[in-house]
Chains A and B, each alone.
Chain A
């Protein structure tokens, strides 16, 4: 019979383009602009009505030829259709590993950045944050695949980017798809070796009523005082200094505490150690007077303060029969908990699509953003503001008697900065980033099932940073001159892809095929200029022209491009057997012509058991699928130009005053970097197997996957023989291999209790094990992470996980003469000093005895989500955690050792004495033994934590109220983020990730706390309003 009808949404608006298919076949039609459809079907057949984002309806054809359908927004993910690779795919038919995070999951955490919103939400995705407002994030999908860049590829409405996602407003996001395995990501080729994060922004719907939404929240970020490290009081500090002298058998003396038998806390620090001073003679420059703070200054409390956060978003969407649009405006003003830090972001987005005809569509998506950021000086840097609050002696007040800054200019208190002063001076050092990111496309249906799409994407960003280094006369090593330093860069990339997609069904056979090409071009240029000697430090005067001293400048840039062709076939037999094959050919400008091209195939299969006859009896199974995949992906993320020998003039090291003039240098040229014509693709091969299931009437869903990947031909800077090439950068070569294996698991349950209480509980667990298999053919070769002062605690070497901790093993403290004789030798060895493990057993402790002492990678990470709805109330809670990762707590170099004068910990006070044999730190002394400053197990701590990431309580006003107010819906909520963290880590915050978030070798240094910006707690109130 001929069946016809009208399809509408819950508001009664007609829904065009709904696909109507006779289930079990691939026969079907789409609804027209008025939501009408007509097709031929047999009685007893089932019609399936599906539309993106809406719950699929099934109606059995009976006697009535008119079947009208009302479609509701999708609640189940069963039928979801998502973008997975230049095309859309029903989630139930995905054979690869894809995690989908929907906008309601994103909204539930009120994130201010996209990456933050993924933390704890998606299995297989490790997210860590830089800390501080507007900071970067570390996103790692299934571990670390290479020593090079491990950042995933982000695709924002099809436009690729790998950085700066914090310019994007999470409120604009419709959904995020994470392609985790090679078989699903392979279509994106080499850029996808670290996984792909596909971000689809919100679009409008055809023939829909205009809708206006508003959401806003405001709250307070803070760090609890109970998280601050505890330090000795000034009196205790003075006492331990005296103990040091006494242990050494020398007479105590200190510029502030005198030279008596007992230390005396002075009344004044400047004049040094004075008990009296004539305060009327104060002069800021020539006669500074600073009082001692005998109670002790809590520098953490001075530096960290509650901060206001406001986030407002306005959305407008709607559509006619032939056009649809969605516009979003966002304002974020986030002050940082660290003094004077902030991030303000303004975003504008417009998505629209137009139907020129039945067969031709044009569309665009456009994001504009502008942000201002003031970050903490030197985050994760041993010379940064946060590191310096560990080094600030508590006896120092923040201000002198006249309200000017006090500092280490008062002698005997080290060479630290006054971090409060530094932050206040830094408050106008704003980094301004503007970004335009968008795409336009045309899509044409050529034949039935055959569609052509052409898409041009553009990503343009500019940055300007004005950094003024003012005079800091209060410190012991003051700047001799003030300086303005301005940096600006732009980068522009352009992506053009064309695809032809074809979809055909024949009986039980269904084929989707895609072929395409993509061209990408990128260029960047950086410019910096600086001048010294500014007459005044007033903000209005901070322009380069106003400086009268030395001028310096630098600039550099880069260009790169790639061209790719790709194809993909998905085959579905009777909704039971799913096969997928893709291949991509990538050619990159980073390699020489002969080695430029790489081919990256992938295969995957899935078997939907639940559709087999023998499973039909198991009615509790809604959907059950087992799947396996294999894929190869490339990586070329090394600096540009590594094919050729690069010569140049390095102003630092190439010039020489050959004429002996004292003030001119003749330019020299030398080899800077050795090239390698033979560089070729680094390849990661991944295999995975998994099972996805939906059980008990769609109430329970789970997914488990095991994967193993191996990267070969890893691009590495070779172990250049420093004797042969000195400082010249050694050539890159394809020299290493690395392995990752692990599993992702997630399980969720949707249920109801009684009629009114609906709940959803889910958890996910991810684990990976990383191991470097080879690094060059020289097994002694290793790559250092970044220095922590004079030590390199991270080392990457074959046989060990990436960026493992390396140093001496300390087996406690030498307790007595017998142990002293037994302990291996080193200079200064004594009763009360460390007992280092003699790893090579030669009786002497030297560098050969250093070994691997810790692993920054977690055993597993996990997230737990619980959402409930009861009548007008909703409640959400989320926990997120990491288990088994080590942290190298370098801040203890300052607080636990006789390093620089400054704040000391209670561990230090409880150092070893014969009556305190259980101490962890050696006997107090002014004369520390050899190796005391070396990397060792003493710095290693368990970094496991469990965090109450989010807890939210909301109230939806009932229809009765909203209709009176003439609004669609209104919800109020209160939320707390990061409220409680359970951890044994002694530092400020256990979320310690990279030291730097840009550059090529950032992954060689993981989990070292050099004074990291903590993740703030926050409490906020918000509103969601729909008109």
Chain B
């Protein structure tokens, strides 16, 4: 009977039955892409970084009720524990992505040994290295002191070594070996890799290195701004000319219907059954500070210094069945594509009804987010049939406006103020397209939109402020803000000012303090330190 004990695992592939060939390499590579959305980290590891990038910034509140997901309150209050689930899951998802890239690269070596032509595998290898660069870059901006894991790493690696050179190596390899065009919209081209390489330089504050690459992307690359701002957030217009690199979300794809459908944002819908998302769960609410930033002055320009002196009028405390007249002052039209506010048409779902859509206004304020929501007409097609929390709107990682505004930063650094202004204006010009405004049902603009281009950057200081302000307005809720503030070295002043202004309304912010250095980066998850057997060291201050 003993020879009957040789039983193969049921329903799983083992090494003996896998043929290592081009097909297998391609399938492994797909799984490396599959980690871009952060699954299986669920909403704790969102690709959009709404947690670590937006809630932790001055743009967004956690929202919902005080007690829902307390670990996110800790992040919002700059007091995360080392066991915070949002950090563990993010770390694990990123390094799972890296592991899959490395598995792909190892399979390529084996396939070559097996006689597969190297040229067939090279583009796949370049994609794997691109993704590995992306994942490490994500980790780098979140934790700073991270280990670099390559396809030959088998033991824990210390995190006190500068990994920027490794990240750059991966991205440079991708620049050199990726094709200029790809058949599949989800795969990076050499142009995408260049944009990433520039991003790596921006995060090292090596603007001189970033400049020429950005110029190359802008002057020779395939990207352009789309006509209407909202097309960037419309699932039917995914992968348009402005999308440099994005997570490809899909629904109704034969799987469980929702699993690849932007799981990271599944909690971030208005709290009402008649809203997109079907009523779950009221997270991710824009701050009053962010809304105020969209006010424009008599020249159609933002109030760079005084924007928060007076609030855009809100319906805080006003029940939905009581009358409310929205703010009548002039506003940047991008506000109402970014923020859902009372009385303004919400993507075909009717005017946002205020308190009724908000889970706990006393806690999370009167606003809801908007960019990741489907149009009413897309219900069941771009959102998952029967599971509206999930939808196929891509999660933008780099947009072309992102690239333009980086280049503007470089220009400011080099005192090329008119060139910087032109790039900012290019972004504003598109925003100012009146066909791209949020409209009432009768076709009139939903609010008093008034936006103009800058006519002058009078000083380097002004230019820097304007460029940074434009980034906030253009890219709000796309997960960049916190990391930008840290990159610019202004996180402490901006965030502490924000906390002191907001804490009267958002009482849970009382006592929160951002300490530069410590809070500029998140704590390394304790689980990562423990399982590395102490090879990884905790970030300073935690």
Contact = CB atoms under 8 A, between A and B. Distances in A.
Interface in A658-692: 658-673, 675
Contact of A827 (B5, B16, B79, B248): B79
Contacts of A559: 7, 10
A72 to B, nearest CB: 46
Contacts of A656: 30-31, 33-34, 36, 186, 248, 260
Contacts of A672: 12
B28 A669 contact: yes
Contacts of B260: 655-657, 665
Given A656-B34, A656-B260, A561 B14 contact: no
B186 A728 contact: no
Given A720-B531, A723-B536, A726-B92, A654 B30 contact: yes
A723 B99 CA distance: 9
B56 to A, nearest CB: 14
Nearest to B380: A549
A590 to B, nearest CB: 9
Contact of A927 (B5, B36, B510): B510
Given A665-B255, A790-B85, A563 B93 contact: no
Given A651-B259, A665-B255, 6 more contacts: A640-B10, A662-B250, A722-B88, A722-B95, A722-B527, A723-B531
Contacts of A840: none
A723 B5 contact: no
B71 to A, nearest CB: 6
Nearest to A245: B362
Nearest to A675: B14
A669 B12 CA distance: 11
Interface stretch (A336-344, A437-445, A460-468, A473-481): A473-481
B14 A645 contact: yes
A557 interface: yes
A723 B163 CA distance: 15
Contact of B93 (A250, A533, A727, A927): A727
A658 B66 contact: no
B531 A646 contact: no
Interface string B61-96: 000011111110010010101110100100111111
A780 B532 contact: no
A725 B99 contact: yes
A933 B279 contact: no
Given A662-B392, A926-B363, A721 B1 contact: no
B431 to A, nearest CB: 25
Interface stretch (B167-175, B333-341, B381-389, B470-478): B381-389
A652 B484 CA distance: 32
Residue of B12, B33, B97, B156 contacting most chain A CB atoms (<10 Å): B12
Given A662-B235, A790-B85, A558 B27 contact: no
A558 B508 CA distance: 51
Interface string A546-584: 000110100011111111000000000000000000000
Contact of A659 (B1, B81, B94, B184): B184
Which 5 pairs, one residue from A and one from B, show the smallest C-beta to C-beta distance?
A: A726-B96, A641-B9, A660-B185, A668-B30, A668-B31
A243 B236 CA distance: 50
Contacts of B528: 721-723
A932 interface: yes
Contact of B71 (A253, A517, A722, A790): A790
A519 B534 CA distance: 46
B5 A669 contact: no
B180 interface: no
Contacts of B534: 780
A560 B6 CA distance: 9
Contacts of B12: 641, 644, 646-648, 672-673
A305 interface: no
Nearest to B40: A653
A900 interface: yes
Contact of A558 (B10, B68, B392, B512): B10
A828 interface: yes
A648 B13 CA distance: 6
B28 A561 contact: no
A538 to B, nearest CB: 19
A722 B94 CA distance: 10
B271 A476 contact: yes
A702 B404 CA distance: 88
B9 A847 contact: no
A654 B35 CA distance: 8
Interface residues of A, number: 98
Contacts of B36: 656
B309 interface: no
Interface string B245-282: 00011111111110110000000000101000011110
A476 B358 CA distance: 11
B109 interface: no
Contacts of A40: none
Interface string A695-730: 000000000000000000000000111111111100
Contact of B507 (A250, A532, A661, A781): A250
Interface residues on B, range: 35 or more
Given A587-B2, A667-B27, A669-B13, A790 B70 contact: yes
A593 interface: yes
B250 to A, nearest CB: 4
Contact of A778 (B82, B157, B239, B530): B530
Contact of A480 (B91, B273, B527): B273
Contact of B67 (A473, A657, A673, A898): A898
| Main DSSP-derived SS at the A contact region | loop
A596 interface: yes
B511 A827 contact: yes
Interface string B289-326: 00000000000000000000000000001010100000
B403 interface: no
Contacts of A483: 386
B11 interface: yes
A927 B502 CA distance: 14
A780 B27 CA distance: 37
Contact of A648 (B11, B35, B79, B279): B11
B252 A550 contact: yes
Contacts of B533: 719, 721, 778, 780
8 contacts: A644-B14, A646-B9, A651-B256, A669-B13, A675-B14, A721-B532, A723-B528, A728-B99
B330 interface: no
Nearest to B41: A727
B93 A654 contact: no
Contacts of A246: none
Nearest to B135: A726
A912 to B, nearest CB: 18
A28 interface: no
A255 interface: yes
A827 B78 CA distance: 9
A936 to B, nearest CB: 13
B34 A668 contact: yes
A248 interface: yes
Interface in A822-837: 826-828
A907 to B, nearest CB: 17
Contacts of B253: 655, 657, 663-665
A589 B6 contact: yes
Contacts of A271: 321
A930 interface: yes
A267 interface: no
A503 interface: no
A129 to B, nearest CB: 32
B11 A726 contact: no
B220 interface: no
Nearest to A828: B511
A659 B186 contact: yes
- Most chain A CB within a 10 A radius of its CB, from B4, B24, B88: B4
B15 interface: yes
A253 B317 CA distance: 8
Contacts of A289: none
